[in-house]
Amino acid sequence: QVQLVESGGGLVQAGGSLTLSCAASGTLQRINIMGWYRQAPGKKRELVADMTNEGVIWYRDSVKGRFIISRDNAKNTMQLEMNNLKPEDTAVYYCSWYDRNSTDLPWFNYWGPGTQVTVSA
């Protein structure tokens, strides 16, 4: 079992910045991906960015150049630095964890409870 705790959400003016944090605990497998998803009202949940334990990073196009994902493997923590925020970034942001202890096994998936980010125009 994996537990995820998020922090850092809030209200910010357009053009401002916020940094989200996530801490993972429990039985953590060596092969894993930590990531951030978001879901706005009336829209599907979408992947914002993720990062593997080896340091491979993916960003969705709409946040490239504005958001920076990072993680500390020793502490099992992850951050998302969000800069030049726009109203369309408003959503509930979820920390995600996918892991497995061998490449011949299926992935396990865990979610944090979510944190609200609101960007005012």
Instruction: List pLDDT tens digits, range 84-114.
Output: 999 999 999 999 999 999 999 999 999 999 9
In this structure, the number of other CB atoms found within 10 A of the CB of residue 63 comes to 21
Tokens of 79: 């951050």
Q: For 27-75, how does the pLDDT look when each residue is reduced to its tens digit (9 = 90+)?
A: 999 999 999 999 999 999 999 999 999 999 999 999 999 999 999 999 9
Burial class (CB within 10 angstroms; exposed 0-12, middle 13-18, buried 19+) of 34: buried
Residues 52/29, Cβ–Cβ less than 8 Å: no
Query: Which pLDDT score is estimated for 63?
Result: 98
Rounded Cα distance, 70 and 92, in Å: 19
In this structure, the number of other CB atoms found within 10 A of the CB of residue 107 comes to 12
